[in-house]
């Protein structure tokens, strides 16, 4: 369909009934058979909207008036919710968020998988008892407003830095640390980076807390190595924030949207903070990847364990293993775990984590699963279970082909993107059946949904 056949013009106002939520949490309606996405609108609502962007296959619009409100609409708890864009669903009550997230998974399978969706077991989403203050790590950009140091996130589609003094999805310890660091930077007149002029020093405040230990790691991202009044800064942190056990500097002078640069220096305290998941403990360095919601991570990994249904003898592959968390979660009930990842530092961490827990039935290798698996098969080692936890883009096509050739009895697919999950599962249907799909809400109040899918060899 080309633009000439689209009957909506930019700036046009029209009524719309919202049918469902899209994958980014926006309301979806149809006007003259044209799909219209409306941020902030909820299923069942009747709204008057104004078209803001016209694309080839769809239009975007903003709410001008709500004629009929959803009974599930609530007042967002966060005062900067509309500007920030970090959350997309705070205006929807939590039970309804869980229902809609399951629906987002259903839509993905309707669109990208050949099986009729009514034949699939898509379970109700597993939510949180308390869906607030759950993130263990914050990365807030630093700036100046008039003469005051502010820290927060850039507003939705803008270069306006929104000052966030309390983020309701961040652990309170990270909120507290960020606020006090802002004050110390202000008091000591340490230069703040200005993105427009590319001058100044401090770019980002990163705070991470161990939920179990209460220990906090502070990372200051700067454009240069030298920090004026550095010793005074460290002394103030120690005085005002005794819970900070690790003070780290990372240097990033590049013009980039990446937060971290290549050089990391320990300024004071420990190099790591400790975190505990179930009966496993982890050492987290400034750059180490770790799940952002430890409470739901335990539920997610327990679902992986349930799907793997291990009896103590199985050979298990943990593809995209990262620092080894999923494999370690399964290790006590498996015969052998072999994990791989393309990031050498992650593999080093995985080996250390396994060693620290006394797990001798694990092996971690740097490389790609689609390259390593055929080598292992040739050497006579065939997996019974493969667990994949790929990035948002899904599994590498070659890995899917390898799985179809290797034919493990069970594939457990951990996904952070229902669309790529549905596409990859569709490829695996050649030899596998889908037992069930279990959505898990790792990020309440956002549009993200994770899933664990169990596939069994036909």
Instruction: Give catalytic residue positions.
Output: 416
Per the rule left: phi > 0, alpha: psi between -120 and 50, beta: everything else, 422 is alpha
Angle in degrees, 0-180, between the axes of helices 418-428 and 397-406, rounded to the nearest 10: 40
| Three-class DSSP labels, 72-84 | CECCCCCCCHHHH
The pair of structure tokens assigned to 302 is 């327990």
Among residues 228, 222, 236, which one has the least CA distance to residue 265? 222
Residue spans of beta strands (DSSP E) within 291-449: 315-319, 336-341, 362-366, 385-388, 410-415, 432-440
The rounded Cα 171 to chain-centroid distance in angstroms is: 15
Report how far residue 47's alpha carbon sits from residue 36's, in angstroms, rounded to the nearest whole number: 12
Cβ neighbours of 238 (radius 10 Å)? 13
Q: What is the DSSP string of 33-77?
A: TEEEEETT--TT-EEEEEEEEE-SSEEEEEEEEEEE--TTB---S
Buried b (16+ CB within 10 A) or exposed e, 88-117: bbbbbebebbbbbbbbbbbbbbeebbeeee
435: left (phi over 0), alpha (psi -120 to 50) or beta: alpha
3-state DSSP assignment of residue 347: helix
| 181, 210 contact by CB (below 8 A) | no
> Would you tell me how many other CB atoms lie within 10 Å of the CB of residue 336?
17
Instruction: For the chain, state the CA radius of gyration.
Output: 24
Helix residue spans in 113-246 (DSSP H): 172-187, 230-240
Q: Who contacts 388 (Cβ-Cβ below 8 Å, separation ≥6)? A: 319, 320, 369, 395, 399, 411, 412, 413, 414
Query: In whole angstroms, how far apart are CA 69 and each of 3, 91, 92?
Result: 32, 12, 11
């Amino acid at each position: 369909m080309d633009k000439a056949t689209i009957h909506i013009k930019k700036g046009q106002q029209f009524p719309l009934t919202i049918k469902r939520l899209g994958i980014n949490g926006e309301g979806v309606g149809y006007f003259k058979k044209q799909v219209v996405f409306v941020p902030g609108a909820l299923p069942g609502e009747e709204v008057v909207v104004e078209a803001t962007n016209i694309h080839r296959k769809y239009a975007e619009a903003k709410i001008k008036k709500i004629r009929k409100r959803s009974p599930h609409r609530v007042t967002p708890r966060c005062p900067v919710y509309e500007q920030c864009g970090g959350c997309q669903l705070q205006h929807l009550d939590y039970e309804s968020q869980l229902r809609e997230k399951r629906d987002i998974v259903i839509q993905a399978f309707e669109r990208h998988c050949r099986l009729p969706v009514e034949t699939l077991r898509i379970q109700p989403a597993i939510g949180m008892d308390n869906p607030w203050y759950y993130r263990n790590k914050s990365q807030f950009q630093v700036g100046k407003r008039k003469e005051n140091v502010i820290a927060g996130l850039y507003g939705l589609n803008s270069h306006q830095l929104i000052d966030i003094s309390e983020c309701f999805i961040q652990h309170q310890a990270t909120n507290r640390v960020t606020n006090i660091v802002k004050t110390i930077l202000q008091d000591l007149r340490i230069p703040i980076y200005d993105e427009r002029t590319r001058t100044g020093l401090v770019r980002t405040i990163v705070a991470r807390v161990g939920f179990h230990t209460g220990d906090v790691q502070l990372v200051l991202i700067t454009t240069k190595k030298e920090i004026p009044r550095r010793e005074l800064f460290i002394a103030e942190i120690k005085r005002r924030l005794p819970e900070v056990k690790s003070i780290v500097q990372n240097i990033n002078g590049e013009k980039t949207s990446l937060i971290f640069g290549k050089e990391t220096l320990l300024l004071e305290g420990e190099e790591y903070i400790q975190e505990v998941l179930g009966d496993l403990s982890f050492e987290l360095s400034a750059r180490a990847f770790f799940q952002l919601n430890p409470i739901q991570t335990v539920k997610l990994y327990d679902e992986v364990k349930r799907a793997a249904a291990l009896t103590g003898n199985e050979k298990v592959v943990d593809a995209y293993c990262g620092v080894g968390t999923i494999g370690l979660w399964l290790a006590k009930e498996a015969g052998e775990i072999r994990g791989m990842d393309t990031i050498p530092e992650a593999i080093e961490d995985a080996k250390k984590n396994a060693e620290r827990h006394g797990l001798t039935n694990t092996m971690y290798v740097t490389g790609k699963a689609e390259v390593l698996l055929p080598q292992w098969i040739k050497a006579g080692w065939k997996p019974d279970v493969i667990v994949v936890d790929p990035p948002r883009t899904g599994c590498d096509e070659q890995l899917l082909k390898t799985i179809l050739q290797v034919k493990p009895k069970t594939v457990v697919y951990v996904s952070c993107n229902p669309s790529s999950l549905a596409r990859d599962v569709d490829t695996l249907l050649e030899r596998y059946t889908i037992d069930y799909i279990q959505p898990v809400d790792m990020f309440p109040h956002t549009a993200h949904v994770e899933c664990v899918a169990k596939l069994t060899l036909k």
